C-alpha cells in the first residue's frame, strides 16, 4: 500500500480522513431518516404514538408538518455530501498524486454510494417503521436548529425566483411515484382500504390521461 502512496499522510490528512469517516456515518443516518420518514403517514405515526412507542410523539409532529423537516434535511444531506466529496478529493490527491482524482471518484461512487445511499435506503424500505422510530427524535432536534431552517427557507425563495410563477411557499415535497408508494404502504398496513387505494391510483391515472390528451 505504501508503494502506491505519493507521500506519507500528514497530520492534516489524518484529520481530514477522520472527518470523512464521521461524515460517512452522518450520511448513513440521514439517508435512513430521509427514506424512512418519507414513508411515514399521519395515521401510522398516530398508531405508533398510541402504542407508546418512544419516538411516537416526534413521529406525529414530523408527519403532520413535512415542511418542518423535508427541506432542512435535504439541505443537510447536500452539504454533508459536498463536504465529504471535497475532502475525499483533497486527501486522495495529497496521498496518491495525479492518480488521486481517480481514487477519489472511485471511493465516492463505490464506497460512499453503497454505504451512505444504497444500504440505509434499502434498509428503510424493508423496515420503514424501525428506521423512522430510530431517527425521528434526532431529526426533529436537528431540523429545529434555526440557522438550518433559515438557510433552507432562503434557498426555497431563491428557487421560486428562478422558477417563474407563484412558486411554492414551503418547497417541493414528494413526486407522484413516491406518493403512490406511500399509498401502497398505507394499504398494506390496513391504514386505508384497498378500494381506497385503487380509487386514488385511478384518479392519478385519469389526471395523467387528461394531460396526455391535452398535450396531443
Q: What DSSP character marks residue 66? A: G
91 in the same domain as 115: yes
139 in the same domain as 101: yes
Q: What DSSP character marks residue 173? A: -
39 in the same domain as 124: yes
194 in the same domain as 206: yes
Contact (Cβ atoms closer than 8 angstroms) between residue 170 and residue 156:
yes
pLDDT confidence of residue 212: 35
Provide the domain count of the chain.
Answer: 2
- From its phi and psi, is residue 147 left (phi > 0), alpha (psi between -120 and 50) or beta? alpha
Contacts of residue 58, defined as CB under 8 A and 6 or more positions apart, other chains included, come to 136, 137, 140
Task: Specify the pTM.
Answer: 0.73
Question: If residue 107 lies in a helix (H) or strand (E), which one and from where to where?
Answer: none
pLDDT confidence of residue 213: 38
143 in the same domain as 209: no
Grid cell 385511478 — which residue? 202
Going from the C-alpha of 76 to that of each of 39, 49, 139, 145, 150, the distances in angstroms are 19, 27, 11, 11, 12
Q: State the residue range of the domain holding 200.
A: 174-216
Going from the C-alpha of 161 to that of each of 140, 147, 157, the distances in angstroms are 29, 21, 6
pLDDT confidence of residue 149: 86
pLDDT tens-digit profile, the chain (216 residues): 455 666 778 899 999 999 999 999 999 999 999 999 988 888 888 888 988 888 999 999 998 888 888 889 999 999 999 999 999 999 988 888 888 888 888 888 888 889 999 999 999 989 989 999 999 999 999 988 888 888 988 888 887 777 765 555 555 555 554 555 666 666 666 656 666 666 666 655 544 443 333 333
99 in the same domain as 204: no
Instruction: Measure the CA dihedral 21/27/28/32, to 10°.
Output: 170
136 in the same domain as 152: yes
58 in the same domain as 153: yes
Grid cell 492534516 — which residue? 12
199 in the same domain as 102: no
Amino acid at each position: 500500500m505504501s508503494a502506491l502512496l505519493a507521500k506519507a499522510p500528514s497530520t492534516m490528512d489524518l484529520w481530514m480522513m477522520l472527518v470523512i469517516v464521521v461524515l460517512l456515518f452522518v450520511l448513513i443516518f440521514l439517508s435512513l431518516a430521509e427514506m424512512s420518514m418519507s414513508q411515514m403517514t399521519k395515521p401510522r405515526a398516530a398508531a405508533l404514538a398510541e402504542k407508546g412507542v418512544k419516538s411516537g410523539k416526534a413521529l406525529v409532529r414530523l408527519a403532520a408538518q413535512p415542511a418542518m423537516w423535508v427541506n432542512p434535511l435535504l439541505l443537510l444531506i447536500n452539504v454533508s455530501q459536498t463536504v465529504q466529496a471535497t475532502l475525499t478529493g483533497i486527501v486522495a490527491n495529497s496521498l496518491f498524486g495525479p492518480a488521486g482524482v481517480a481514487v477519489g471518484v472511485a471511493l465516492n461512487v463505490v464506497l460512499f454510494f453503497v454505504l451512505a445511499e444504497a444500504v440505509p435506503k434499502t434498509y428503510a424500505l424493508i423496515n420503514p417503521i424501525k428506521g423512522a422510530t430510530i431517527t425521528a427524535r434526532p431529526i426533529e432536534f436537528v431540523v429545529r436548529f434555526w440557522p438550518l431552517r433559515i438557510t433552507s427557507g432562503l434557498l426555497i425563495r431563491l428557487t421560486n425566483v428562478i422558477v417563474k410563477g407563484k412558486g411554492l411557499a414551503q418547497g417541493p415535497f414528494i413526486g407522484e411515484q413516491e406518493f403512490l408508494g406511500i399509498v401502497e404502504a398505507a394499504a398494506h398496513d390496513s391504514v386505508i382500504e384497498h378500494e381506497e387505494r385503487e380509487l386514488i391510483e385511478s384518479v392519478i391515472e385519469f389526471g395523467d390521461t387528461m394531460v396526455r390528451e391535452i398535450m396531443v
